């Protein structure tokens, strides 16, 4: 049984697997933020489920529905999506079609990485546009104290959900940029190792 010894200069031979980029404090911090947003979204889902169940029991069992459940549910869907979107992108669970990428990878892994990095940059640009469009709405909703719902029955301010959209979209932009950088660096690293 033989073990591969490192080449002179301490550079490990290429193993055919994409080497993971070194873990940095910035990456660890981003991971903590993503996990926190994702966990908050999960807790929100559980709370929404309990609220809907309580409304159903109150409505059918006691003829006492909970005011504002439909409004809360409508806002919750948006909030949960934006809280969990960045973690979804980070874990590679965002819906995508890899048929073309797999075809390109059979011919050139380098070109595949560049194309996928391009996709990541397009994703970052799209979510950056969401941040840009939502920021003025957030400012306006705070300044004008905008609310959603039926006055006298149930109302809630609109700024928290818009703030969540800004935070969640910003996190997605950062994740896409990091993933694009990883793809480019993985290509460069593999090229340097072969040299």
* pLDDT single digits (tens) 43-77: 999 999 999 999 999 888 888 888 888 888 988 99
d(C-alpha 97, C-alpha 79), whole Å: 26
pTM of the model: 0.75
Q: Which residues make Cβ contacts (< 8 Å) with residue 48, sequence separation at least 6?
A: 72, 73, 76, 80
| pLDDT value at 109 more than 70 | no
d(C-alpha 125, C-alpha 111), whole Å: 21
How would residue 2 be classed by pLDDT, with cut points 50, 70 and 90? very low
Percent of the chain with pLDDT over 70: 76
d(C-alpha 106, C-alpha 97), whole Å: 16
| pLDDT value at 142 more than 90 | yes
Percent of the chain with pLDDT over 90: 42
pLDDT in the model for residue 150: 77
Between the CA of residue 80 and those of 162, 167, 182, what are the distances in Å?
12, 12, 27
Three-class SS state of 150: strand
Three-class SS state of 4: coil
* Mean pLDDT computed over every residue of the chain: 80
Count the Cβ atoms, other than its own, within 10 Å of residue 70. Answer: 14
């Amino acid at each position: 049984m033989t073990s591969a010894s490192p080449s002179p200069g301490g550079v490990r031979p290429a193993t055919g697997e994409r080497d993971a980029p070194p873990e940095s404090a910035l990456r660890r911090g981003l991971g903590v933020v993503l996990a926190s947003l994702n966990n908050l979204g999960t807790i929100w889902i559980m709370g929404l489920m309990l609220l809907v169940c309580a409304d159903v029991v109150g409505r059918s069992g006691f003829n006492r529905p909970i005011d504002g459940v439909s409004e809360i549910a409508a806002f919750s869907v948006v909030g949960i999506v934006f809280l969990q979107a960045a973690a979804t992108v980070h874990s590679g669970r965002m819906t995508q079609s890899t048929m073309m990428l797999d075809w390109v990878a059979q011919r050139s892994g380098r070109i595949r990485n560049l194309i996928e990095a391009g996709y990541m940059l397009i994703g970052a640009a799209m979510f950056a546009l969401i941040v840009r469009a939502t920021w003025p709405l957030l400012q306006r909703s705070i300044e004008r104290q905008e609310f959603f719902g039926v006055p006298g029955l149930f109302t809630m301010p609109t700024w928290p959900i818009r703030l969540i959209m800004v935070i969640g979209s910003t996190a997605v932009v950062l994740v896409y940029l990091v993933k694009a950088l990883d793809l480019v660096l993985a290509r460069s690293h593999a090229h340097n190792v072969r040299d």
